[in-house]
Amino acid sequence: MGMAEKLLARFNHSVDAFASLVHNYRMEDTIAIFGSPRSGSTWLMELLESIPGYKSVFEPFHPRWYPEFGRNGFPYTPYVPDETELAWLGDYLERVFSGRVHARFPYRRPVLPRLRASKLVVKFVRANTVLPWVAGNFELRGFYFIIRHPCATIASQIATGYYSRITPEQLANEVRKVEGLEELAGRVARLNTEIGRLAAVWAFENYVPLSSERPFPWYTVVYERLIVNPAEELEAVFGHIGEGVPEGAWKKVKKPSMVTRKSYGKEYIGTPKQLLKWKDKLSERQVGEILEVVSWFGLDFYTAEPEPDYDALGEGGVEVG
């Protein structure tokens, strides 16, 4: 970070630290969102942040913005922690969900709304593999899990400079930890392209929540459905926590999130064209490789079509419609 970003990060940290002295952030009011990088999780966060009295906690597993997590947290993602690590993680998340951990976030944020807000929306893109454990151990107001077509997600990751920070061997070691996936570890370890690695990461970090015990204790937001049928999906999203759709959410559903405003294709946000951008960004070979790797994990509800097979999602425990 440059000097200006460091100063802004310190200022943001101070604002949130001061706000925590004024407000008693209760875990039972906290909303948590989980998703892959570039899955639409920031967009969903901003929609839920439109509930009066709420503000966001952005990426508490980010190692630079949250130095405590950087010192003690996961070495790479996706990562499946052991029992010893879960003990530390439980203590850390208890403080996150009650507003006692503050980010050194190096981007501009509105000051007065953050000082006034008394409730939290916490958003993760590095925590899918612990979502079932978190949902089973914390009593929050609501949990959300957002999924998006792997080709769209990976095309967006590549366009914004994201890359797989975990080696195939490291990912294979994590895959071995999950019951039922042990035989896939060898295939994963032999992946030799960046597209293949990104596809395996997407598949693994979405497999873990989707293969957990049903009914899921969270609402699964299907990104494509939010694009194609925003009215009905917004009703379902806010209905999950007993809220009507705030006026601010109707406005934000047609706008790109703060991490997309400078990204490719922003003019397509809120239109069906948003679901087709990846077809122009990925080659036929890349699409085939992504879908093949994803199929190893049994996540066949996404195909070369822009929308998922909603019937297959429903059979997999995801409430659709």
Each residue's pLDDT tens digit, 262-295: 454 555 555 567 899 999 999 999 999 999 999 9
pLDDT given for residue 269 in this prediction:
52
Instruction: Using CB atoms within 10 Å of the CB of residue 13, give its burial: 0 to 12 exposed, 13 to 18 middle, 19+ buried.
Output: middle
Q: Classify residue 321: in a domain, yes or no.
A: no
Q: Which residues contact 215 (CB under 8 A, 6 or more apart)?
A: 317
Chain centroid to Cα 75, Å, comes to: 18
Using an 8 Å Cβ cutoff, are 37 and 146 in contact?
no
CATH number for 227: 3.40.50.300
What confidence score (pLDDT) does residue 261 get? 43
Name the 3-class secondary structure at 74: coil
Q: How far is it, in rounded angstroms, from Cα 98 to Cα 82?
A: 24
CA distance 309 to 301: 5
Q: Residue 33: inside a domain, yes or no?
A: yes
DSSP code of residue 32: E
In a domain, 140, yes or no: yes
Whole-number pLDDT of residue 264: 46
Residue 319 falls within a domain, yes or no? no
The answer to whether residue 110 sits within a structural domain is yes
- Domain count within the chain: 1
Structure tokens of 271? 């239109």
Position 254 scores a pLDDT of 79
Is 318 among the domain residues?
no
Instruction: Note whether residue 181 is domain-resident.
Output: yes
Residue 10 tokens read as 């310190």
119: amino acid identity, one letter: K
CA distance 235 to 237: 6
**Does 320 map to a domain?**
no
Contact yes or no for 222/144 (Cβ under 8 A): no
Domain, as residue range, for 183: 3-313
Q: Which residues contact 163 (CB under 8 A, 6 or more apart)?
A: 157, 194, 198
pLDDT computed for residue 133 by the predictor:
98
Picking from 146, 137, 118, 138, the residue whose alpha carbon sits closest to that of residue 209 is 146
In 3D, which of 61, 55, 67, 49 has the Cα closest to residue 104? Answer: 67
What confidence score (pLDDT) does residue 256 get?
66
**Model pTM?**
0.94
Task: Using 50 as the pLDDT threshold, list the residues of the chain that sit under it.
Answer: 261-262, 264
Q: What beta strand segments (E) does 137-234 contain?
A: 142-147, 219-222
